[in-house]
Amino acid sequence: MFLSGAGMTVEKINMTCDICGKKKATVHLTEIVDEQMSEMHLCEECARQKNTQMEQQFGLADLLAGLSDTSKPPASKEGEKNVLKCSRCGLLYEDFRKFGRLGCGECYTSFKEHLNGLLRKIHGSNKYMGKTPSKYQENQMAPLSEGTIAFLPSEDLLDLKKQLHSAVAAEDFEKAAVIRDKIKKIATP
Amino acid sequence: MRIEELLNHTGEWLRGTGPSAHIVMSSRVRLARNLEAWTFPGKSGKKDLEAILKTFEEAVNHISALKGSTLFQMTELDQVDRQMLVERHLMSHEHASNPEGKGLLVAAEEVVSIMINEEDHLRIQVMRSGLNLSEAWDIINAIDDALAHELTFAFSPSCGFLTACPTNTGTAMRGSVMMHLPALVMTKQINKVLAAISKLSFASRGFYGEGTQASGNFYQISNQVALGHSELDIIQNINGLIRQVIEQEEQARQALLLQNKPMLEDKVCRSFGLLKTARIISSQEAIEFFSMVRLGLDMGILKHVDHKALNELFIMIQPAHLQKIEGKKLNAFERDTKRAAVIRQKLGGKDV
């Protein structure tokens, strides 16, 4: 599309909506899937509907990769009802799987076995390295410390992370991607 | 502050200067925080949401860094007002669409803004001009410390800050940088660059944030990972990546000059001429021409255009802003006309 002239955009002004085919398209969407680009031209109303659809899809898609294999609720024991839910807010684990949102801080403890693997999949690690609020520094017995997740990186992982850094520094993105995938593999049981 | 007063100026982060401002328009750092005492907003009823808002308001009164800021209650604003706050990058679409129990704190010069009761109780953001994530982090870190002194956040030593969405769990920090990459687009290298970015676990989005397409060659690049690294590490990683993208864009700009300088100059100058004379213009079209004018400025093809005025136009030409400027509701056609008038005025186009 090198230096395409003004003609292209003039064309856009008179476009009608790809969905309803009636109203003027004022919203222009570009989707990139596997480097394939597709364009959609929508009127405001159809765009709003499409947006709601996409949000729902995205909320799920974010998580599906992580949830599909590791986080099925445990099999029921001796006829016990298989309903895993948060002891504080009552969120069902099933609903978390559907909508991808947790209900309260306690969910992290109630669903910890499932979240452990999920967090590792999403972030490539589940070890927290960030800041600690002053109140939690003073008080060693922090409210949610009990039974939460710990994960120590292996020597291999540290080595791979170093390699990743140098690959990125050398702008070798292909190599970096390969190393990244290796890290993901190690970080996932 | 009344919401109309925002119209008299734009955010400090649009001033168009700062490190690598020729390619990086702005830097943003965002933190998500939840209060230990309540369930997350999605699981809280109206009364709880109002109590959370009240608790936050009281906490803010004790924080000197947030003196002089304004707290907007979403239910007290109409749809156009809320849309206007979204267009200024002060809050998300999601925050505007369902106003019940929600608030927005806007601090001086729009450097700091805090959404209350979006997906998490607090979403704090700091915006800076140019590539300046470290400075944004310093500011937001201090505000977060001050808030943590007044409020008890949901936090676990092993998981970090606890958020509604597990993609934020940990530092709950997102650093993002708005980049202008016209030469990478024109030389058809952009998909390669975006693919590399996504392989490295960074996300790229359009000018108006989550779920929007890239328009006018603007791309917002942000980290995806919030565990396994400290906040400063994450910021350094983004900086490292952004510097490489900057270098690629610079090379592509040089290549364009070598390849066909007159054609590039023609494209830039035509775009400028069009913006100064058009009578009807869609936002998509306007942003494409802004992109070309901006490129012309940054490459020295155009000299007498005010960078800041150009940046401000990105905000002013959006639907809610146009309607606030006009003082009434405008349909799509009326907006296109008003938009053209605002641009002509701002860029000093004489009525011909």
Residue for token pair 């050398």: A170
Cα(B63)–Cα(B60) distance, integer angstroms: 5
Residues 6+ apart with CB under 8 A from A32: B191, B194
Q: Tell me which chain A residue has its CA closest to the CA of residue B148.
A: A133
The three-state secondary structure class of A28 is strand
Contact residues, A window 32-91, toward B, CB-based 8 Å cutoff: 32, 35, 37, 44, 51, 54-55, 58, 62-63, 66, 88-89, 91
Q: Band of the pLDDT at A4, cuts 50, 70, 90?
A: very low
Which letter does DSSP use for residue B347 in this model? T
- The answer to whether residues B352 and B290 touch, using CB atoms and an 8 Å cutoff, is no
- Cβ–Cβ gap A177/B145 under 8 Å: no
Cα(B216)–Cα(B20) distance, integer angstroms: 19
Q: Tell me which chain B residue has its CA closest to the CA of residue A153.
A: B228
- Cβ–Cβ gap A105/B162 under 8 Å: yes
Output the pLDDT for position B205. Answer: 81
- Cβ–Cβ gap B154/A3 under 8 Å: no
Which candidate in A123, A132, A188 is best for mutational testing of the B interface (most B CBs within 10 A)? A123
Cα(B238)–Cα(A64) distance, integer angstroms: 26
Output the pLDDT for position B351. Answer: 59
Higher-scoring residue by pLDDT: A40, B193? B193
- Cβ–Cβ gap B167/A13 under 8 Å: no
pLDDT at B215 over 90: no
Amino acid at B165: C
Dump pLDDT digits (tens) for A148-169: 443 434 556 667 777 777 777 7
Contact residues, A window 10-29, toward B, CB-based 8 Å cutoff: 12-13, 24, 26, 28-29
Q: How far is B171 from chain A (nearest CA, A)?
A: 5
Q: Band of the pLDDT at B175, cuts 50, 70, 90?
A: very high
Output the pLDDT for position A177. Answer: 79
Output the pLDDT for position B325. Answer: 95
Name the residue among A100, A119, A168 with its Cβ closest to that of B200.
A168
Amino acid at B230: S
- Cβ–Cβ gap A128/B274 under 8 Å: no
Closest to A120 measured CA to CA, from A146, A150, A145, A95 = A150
Output the pLDDT for position A185. Answer: 66
Name the residue among A66, A108, A123 with its Cβ closest to that of B156.
A108
Q: How far is B175 from chain A (nearest CA, A)?
A: 14
Q: Band of the pLDDT at B78, cuts 50, 70, 90?
A: very high
- Cβ–Cβ gap B228/A115 under 8 Å: no
- Cβ–Cβ gap A104/B270 under 8 Å: no
Cα(B184)–Cα(B106) distance, integer angstroms: 35
Q: Tell me which chain B residue has its CA closest to the CA of residue A6.
A: B271
Q: How far is A163 from chain B (nearest CA, A)?
A: 13
- Cβ–Cβ gap B171/A130 under 8 Å: yes
Q: Band of the pLDDT at A9, cuts 50, 70, 90?
A: very low
Q: Which of A163-177, B168-182, B302-316, B323-337 has the lowest mean pLDDT?
A: A163-177
Output the pLDDT for position B55. Answer: 97
Secondary structure percentages of chain B, helix, strand, coil, to 5 = 50, 15, 30
Which candidate in B158, B168, B186, B337 is best for mutational testing of the A interface (most A CBs within 10 A)? B158
Amino acid at A167: A
Q: How far is A78 from chain B (nearest CA, A)?
A: 32
Which letter does DSSP use for residue B108 in this model? G
pLDDT at B40 over 50: yes
Q: How many other CB atoms are there within 10 angstroms of residue B346's CB atom?
A: 17
Output the pLDDT for position A42. Answer: 79
Cα(B257)–Cα(B299) distance, integer angstroms: 9
pLDDT at B166 over 90: yes
Q: How far is B268 from chain A (nearest CA, A)?
A: 10
Higher-scoring residue by pLDDT: B4, B35? B35
Which candidate in A104, A161, A179 is best for mutational testing of the B interface (most B CBs within 10 A)? A104
- Cβ–Cβ gap A180/B141 under 8 Å: no
Cα(B321)–Cα(B323) distance, integer angstroms: 5
Alpha carbon of residue B32 to chain centroid: 16
Tokens describing residue B227: 């565990």
Residues 6+ apart with CB under 8 A from B323: B80, B329, B330, B335
Cα(B148)–Cα(B144) distance, integer angstroms: 6
The Cα diameter of chain B in Å comes to: 66
In the Cβ-directed half-sphere of A26, how many Cα atoms lie within 13 Å? 18
- The answer to whether residues B10 and B315 touch, using CB atoms and an 8 Å cutoff, is yes
- Cβ–Cβ gap B158/A119 under 8 Å: no
- Cβ–Cβ gap B158/A148 under 8 Å: yes
Give mean pLDDT, residues A107-126. 92
pLDDT at B20 over 80: yes
- Cβ–Cβ gap A119/B187 under 8 Å: no
ipTM of the complex: 0.89
- Cβ–Cβ gap B155/A132 under 8 Å: yes
Contact residues, A window 104-143, toward B, CB-based 8 Å cutoff: 104-105, 108, 115, 118-119, 122-136, 142-143
Q: How far is A18 from chain B (nearest CA, A)?
A: 16
Q: Tell me which chain B residue has its CA closest to the CA of residue A169.
A: B240
Dump pLDDT digits (tens) for B92-146: 999 999 899 999 999 989 999 999 999 999 999 999 999 999 999 999 999 999 9
Burial of B201 (0-12, 13-18, 19+ CB in 10 A): middle
- Cβ–Cβ gap A148/B157 under 8 Å: yes
Residues of chain A found within 8 Å of residue B241, distances taken between Cβ atoms: 168
Cα(A42)–Cα(A23) distance, integer angstroms: 8
- The answer to whether residues B163 and A118 touch, using CB atoms and an 8 Å cutoff, is no
Residue for token pair 């806007």: B106
